């Protein structure tokens, strides 16, 4: 492949020079990363939650590992004790149920809503990738950018370390994927889309393959037929496992019905299927 294509990534204005993981934003968003991914590690997460990490490694039972994770989240982030999170009877808003589970449910129902803004903001904070779309294009539109920032702030207001909860969700998701797909570096996932100009195509190659820049966080499906329900066209991408934040089946009753996967953005080869 042309080395120029391999270097394609998010443009400078769409990424931060610093982030909170072991690769720069430019590197992890590049086409080269899609083709040859390496694990992504968020700063301090494994060290802070070492007891959970070790317990997950010792268990060979999916249900037990899920129980361990859910119990650790409740205990570490005081999810069952709003008063310990600082909530009082005089609080203007009761945000005690605004946790990582609500974020995933909110994304599932509205990928341009308040919870989705928090998740896209988390990607920006941890991986350094700015969102390009949230209810409309953001680049070059200060008003749209301001609406996004307000939605993100509103989603975080009065919550208990919500972005840190997503840190641990990502780490748990990566552990689960490595268990389920040992020896693999990619999953073939599908994305439906409508208008042909809805894609940010950077280059077109042979046989219907394109180099596409995806938003900082996007939904894919492992089921081609379900992806076909979301547009007139379907793309197939070999998504690096380290770019998956959450997926259908990771936790009970979340992202169900569409085989949904939440994928961190970047430049990827996409095969147009129809």
Distances 248 to 136, 218, 232 between C-alpha atoms, Å: 26, 14, 23
Here the tokens at position 87 are 């909530």
Q: How many domains does the chain have?
A: 1
Token code pair at residue 160: 């208990």
**In the prediction, which pLDDT does 232 show?**
82
Q: Is residue 136 part of a domain?
A: yes
The answer to the question of residue 144 being in a domain is yes
By DSSP bridging, strand 233-240 and strand 244-247 are unpaired
Q: Which of 141, 139, 101, 158 lies closest to 215, judged by CA?
A: 139
Token digits of residue 252: 């009970």
Tell me what pLDDT residue 45 has.
97
CA torsion 263-268-273-274 (nearest 10°) is: 80
Expressed as residue numbers, the domain containing 71 is 45-180
In a domain, 212, yes or no: no
User: 36-58 in b/e burial notation, b at 16+ Cβ within 10 A?
Assistant: ebeebebeebeebbeebbebbee
Q: Are 234 and 194 in contact (CB under 8 A)?
A: no
The sign of the dihedral angle between the CA atoms of 200, 113, 117, 227 is negative
Asked, for residue 204, whether it belongs to a domain, the answer is no
Residue 131 lies in a domain: yes
In the block, tokens 């899920």 appear at 66
Distance, in Å, from the CA atom of 239 to the CA atom of 267, rounded to the nearest integer, reads 10
Residue 173 lies inside a defined structural domain of this protein = yes
Query: Quick check: pTM over 0.85?
Result: yes
Q: What is the full per-residue pLDDT of the chain (274 aa) written as tens digits? A: 788 999 999 999 999 999 999 999 999 999 999 999 999 999 999 999 999 999 999 999 999 999 999 999 999 999 986 655 555 555 555 555 689 999 999 999 999 999 999 999 999 999 999 999 999 999 999 999 999 999 999 999 878 799 999 999 999 999 999 999 999 999 999 999 876 556 899 999 999 899 999 999 999 999 998 888 887 889 999 999 999 999 999 998 788 777 899 999 999 999 988 7
**Number of residues that this document lists for the chain:** 274
Residue 12 lies in a domain: no
User: Distance from CA of residue 182 to its chain's centroid?
Assistant: 21
DSSP 249: T
9-18: long-range contacts, CB 8 A cutoff, minimum separation 24: 9/266, 9/267, 10/129, 10/130, 10/213, 10/265, 10/266, 10/267, 13/130, 13/139, 14/129, 14/130, 14/132, 14/139, 15/128, 15/129, 15/130, 16/124, 16/128, 16/129, 16/130, 17/128, 18/128
Look at residue 196 in the predicted model and tell me its pLDDT: 54
Is 249 contained in some domain? no
**Alpha-carbon span 264 to 218, nearest angstrom:** 7
Q: Which residue has the tokens 């820049």?
A: 213
């Amino acid at each position: 492949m042309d080395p120029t294509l391999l270097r394609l990534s998010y443009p400078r204005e769409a990424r931060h020079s610093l982030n909170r993981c072991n690769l720069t934003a430019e590197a992890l968003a590049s086409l080269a990363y899609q083709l040859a991914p390496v694990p992504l590690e968020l700063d301090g997460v494994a060290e802070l939650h070492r007891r959970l990490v070790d317990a997950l490694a010792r268990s060979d039972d999916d249900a037990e590992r899920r129980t361990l994770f859910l119990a650790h989240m409740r205990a570490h982030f005081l999810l069952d004790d709003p008063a310990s999170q600082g909530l009082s009877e005089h609080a203007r808003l009761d945000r005690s149920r605004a946790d990582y589970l609500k974020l995933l449910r909110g994304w599932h129902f509205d990928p341009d809503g308040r919870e989705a803004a928090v998740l896209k903001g988390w990607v920006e904070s941890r991986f350094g990738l700015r969102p390009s779309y949230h209810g409309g294009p953001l680049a070059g539109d200060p008003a749209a950018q301001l609406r996004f920032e307000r939605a993100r702030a509103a989603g975080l207001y009065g919550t208990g370390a919500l972005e840190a909860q997503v840190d641990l969700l990502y780490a748990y998701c990566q552990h689960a994927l490595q268990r389920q797909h040992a020896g693999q570096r990619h999953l073939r996932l599908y994305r439906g889309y409508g208008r042909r100009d809805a894609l940010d195509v950077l280059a077109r190659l042979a046989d219907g393959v394109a180099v596409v820049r995806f938003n900082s966080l996007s939904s894919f499906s492992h089921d081609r037929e379900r992806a076909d329900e979301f547009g007139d066209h379907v793309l197939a991408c070999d998504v690096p496992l380290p770019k998956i934040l959450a997926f259908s089946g990771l936790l009970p009753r979340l992202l169900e019905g569409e085989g949904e996967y939440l994928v961190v953005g970047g430049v990827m080869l996409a095969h147009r299927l129809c």
